[in-house]
Amino acid sequence: MNSPLIQLLVLAGIAVFLVLRLKNVLGTREGFEQPPASKETTTRTARPELEVIEGGPDLDITDHVAEDSNAATALAKMKRVEQSFQVTDFLQGARGAYEMIVMGYEDGNLSEIQQFLSEEIYESFVDGVAAREDRGLTIEAQFMGVREIKLMDATFNDETREAELTIRFVAELTSAVRDKGGDIIEGSLSEVKQQKDTWVFARTMGVNDPNWLLVSTDV
């Protein structure tokens, strides 16, 4: 087997690994599962929106938002459209996705995360990376971990089935900006700083594509 073919196979294997890793973070399903037939309305109580579990509200919802909130209603609608959706699982995935996206931007490796960004966010990332490259700047960063993650809001469009989840992240990392000569002109490699972000992820529920897209970083 010649050398170019071996290199091609190795690169293909790496690409598949990266795609699967990111899909495990932002995509929690392989395909659409039809929701079960609706029960008779006579079995519903005063708060049908949250009664995914018979006999009481869905703790997967009320552990993260107030039971009587609009966000709770939106989450319950998402679950009715797509039974496999779990808020807790999503937040666990979002924790890992946050690190991958932050570091992808810091390192300038946007191709690895492009499919999980909306077109608008991707273009803004491209502009940001290009601007610092034009100035000969590079970023050296180390992600220390997400210290806090919280679901701030949830919305669901009944007509389009588009869901949006607003997530608050508090993370710690070291970050330094180097100039063309390699000198640090901003930040520190030894001082851990706290970074706070509020991001919005969106997805159309009940379709084959399981991936949530980052649609806003400016909330």
Residue 160 has a pLDDT of: 97
Domain range summary for the chain, segments of one domain joined by +: 3-29+45-216
pLDDT level of residue 56 (50, 70, 90 thresholds): confident
pTM of the model: 0.74
Model pLDDT, residue 22: 44
CA atoms of 88 and 74, how far apart (whole Å) = 15
pLDDT tens sequence across 67-116: 999 999 999 999 999 999 999 999 999 999 999 999 999 999 999 999 88
Q: What is the pLDDT of residues 6-51, one digit of tens each?
A: 444 434 444 444 444 444 445 443 322 333 444 443 344 444 455 4
CATH of 3-29+45-216, picked from 3.40.50.2020, 3.90.550.10, 3.10.450.240, 3.90.230.10, is 3.10.450.240
- Residue 59 confidence (pLDDT) above 90: yes
